[in-house]
Amino acid sequence: MAVLATAWEQIREASGVSFILFRIMVPVVIAVKILTELGLVKYIAAAFAPLMSLVGLPGEMGLVWATAVITNMYGGIVLFASIAPDLHMSTAQITVIASMILLAHSMPVETTIARKTGVRIRFMIPFRLLLAFLFGFILNTVYALGGFLQEEGRILWEASPGSGSLGSWALSQLQNLAVIFLIVLVLIILMKILDRLGITRLMNRMLEPVLTSMGIGKSATTVTILGMVLGISYGGGLIIRDVNSGKLSSRDVFFSISLMGLSHAILEDTLLMMSLGANITGVLFARIIFTWIVISGLVRLVRKISDDAFYRYFFRSRSPQDNIS
């Protein structure tokens, strides 16, 4: 009975998460179908082609990235799985687009969370978009020059396109949503197992000295690690709580949210992107190294500027606890 109760609890949790995702994804799927039927996808891809060529990707991936940025990762994943099989992309290319999505996705939701902590949206949006593109450019350059991961990528699951009829298409989309539900369920169960095995706590201990080396204050270390491991929504919520309680300085809040913007849910999101055929060298190892370099530089830069400049360009308001180290 205990096993059945636990299984039912995981299914309920996955159902709740999936329902939230589906409310966003279903309109995206319908919109893409309309664009496809009208023959507009190729024109949108052509518009993105010059930009995407800089990171070694076909123009269609611009639409995939834009979808992930505006909606969420799952919206981008559905679109990717629908069009990528016909493009015969290399593992390197899949890793590049997956890494770009990891650095910049769900912007309306996640920048709203950032804003509630005090970080200015006019900083956070270009910060994540530009760095995602830069990271994609660096990965593509390294993979191309080294001849790494140039074999055709193996997409572990592909969206079912359905046949020509509208009814068949609708049925295939329901099948795709069912697959996503199963992926969410597996990820939830896997995260629970990792937590039971103490892997999550081990990661926390490993990440603490990394954050300290960046220059992030100890008062923000715990919530930042939780955000990196569990996601920006959870981590951001904890930071909002601690800001309201006066535990964190404005600058540490800014550093923490900036870091979480580039690397959050590093277990769940990494596994999700690897299910598309992305390589772990880009979506995990290179992403962590890139984040460390960027945030270390940002910390050193922001600590040198005046309070007036900090609150004008990076943070919305001066808080009385700013003398906390």
Indicate whether 114 belongs to any domain: no
Q: Give a yes or no: residue 124 inside a domain.
A: yes
In order, the DSSP letters of 202-245 are HHHHHHHHHHHHHT--GGGHHHHHHHHHH-HHHHHHHHHHHHHH
54, 87, 201 from 140: Cα distances, Å: 9, 17, 33
Q: Is 45 in contact with 59 (CB distance < 8 Å)?
A: yes
Residue at 44 is within a domain:
yes
Q: Judging by beta carbons within 10 Å of its beta carbon (0-12, 13-18, 19+), is residue 192 exposed, middle or buried? A: middle
What contacts 213, CB < 8 A, 6 or more positions away? Answer: 292, 296
pTM equals 0.78
Q: Does residue 46 form part of some domain? A: yes
Number of domains making up the chain: 1
> 248 lies in a domain?
yes
Q: How far is the C-alpha of 259 from the C-alpha of 11, rounded, in Å? A: 32
Q: Show pLDDT as tens, one digit a residue, over the chain (325 residues).
A: 666 777 777 788 777 767 765 775 677 677 777 876 777 767 777 888 899 999 999 999 998 998 888 877 887 888 888 888 888 999 999 999 999 999 999 888 788 878 888 899 999 999 999 999 999 999 999 999 999 999 998 877 655 555 557 777 788 778 777 877 777 777 677 767 767 887 767 766 777 787 778 887 776 777 777 677 767 655 566 667 666 677 778 888 899 889 989 998 888 889 889 988 999 999 999 999 999 999 999 999 999 999 999 999 999 864 444 443 3
Query: Can you give the pLDDT at residue 224?
Result: 77
List helix spans (H) across 163-320. 166-196, 199-214, 221-230, 232-245, 250-262, 268-274, 280, 287-304, 307-313
Amino acid 28: pLDDT: 66
pLDDT attached to residue 160: 54
d(CA 255, CA 295): 7
For residue 319, is it within any domain? no
Per-residue model confidence (pLDDT) at position 85: 84
Strand partners, 315: 119
What is the reported pLDDT for 277? 92
d(CA 68, CA 105): 5
Say if 23 falls within a structural domain: yes
Provide the domain limits for residue 196.
2-109+120-313
- For the chain, helix (H) and strand (E) counts, in that order, are 16, 0
Which of 244, 261, 239 minimizes the C-alpha distance to 319?
A: 244
151 is a domain residue: yes
Q: Which residues make Cβ contacts (< 8 Å) with residue 318, sequence separation at least 6?
A: 250, 307, 311
Q: Please report the pLDDT score of residue 324 as a whole number.
A: 38
Asked if 80 and 153 touch (Cβ cutoff 8 Å), the reply is no
